[in-house]
Amino acid sequence: MAEYRKGSHTIYNIEYHVVLVTKYRYQVLRGEVALRTRELIRQSCLSRGITIVRGSVSKDHVHLLLSCPPSLAPAKIIQYLKGRSSRLLQQEFEHLRKKYWGQHLWARGYFCATVGTITEEMVKEYVENQQTDGPEEAFKVED
């Protein structure tokens, strides 16, 4: 059963699988840098009401399974996570400032996919069965 979260006027279960990759795939997420990356991402998520369901920091990328409130768009979440972590990591680790002199620790793109506990077919069946008679349309109006 899905674990639903609650807001002031919402009940939701929105999860994203996110992958952030270092620029040029440089393997800089090691040792203290990896630990600090994890801590910065945890802080950023906590401050925005995002729950890290699972996470992993590899040498050149980070995998996250995030549970997010509906008020946050995936692009904004990733923009915030990448921007803050890049800025603070480069402030704290001089070797990163030298390696990434252009100020960008993360690659320009990212991977993001939604994760759900029910399939698209289950949702279609539920919606279809809301009305038992009438034309077979993709978007029905009940009488």
Active site residues per annotation: 126
- Phi-psi group of 17: left, alpha or beta (phi > 0 → left; psi -120 to 50 → alpha; rest → beta): beta
Amino acid at 83: G
Amino acid at 23: K
Which residues make Cβ contacts (< 8 Å) with residue 11, sequence separation at least 6? 4, 5
Cα distance between residue 104 and residue 21, in whole Å:
11
**Across the strands, what pairs with 15?**
67, 115
How many other CB atoms sit within 10 Å of the CB of residue 90?
A: 19
The angle subtended at Cα 5 by Cα 69 and Cα 130, nearest 5°, is 95
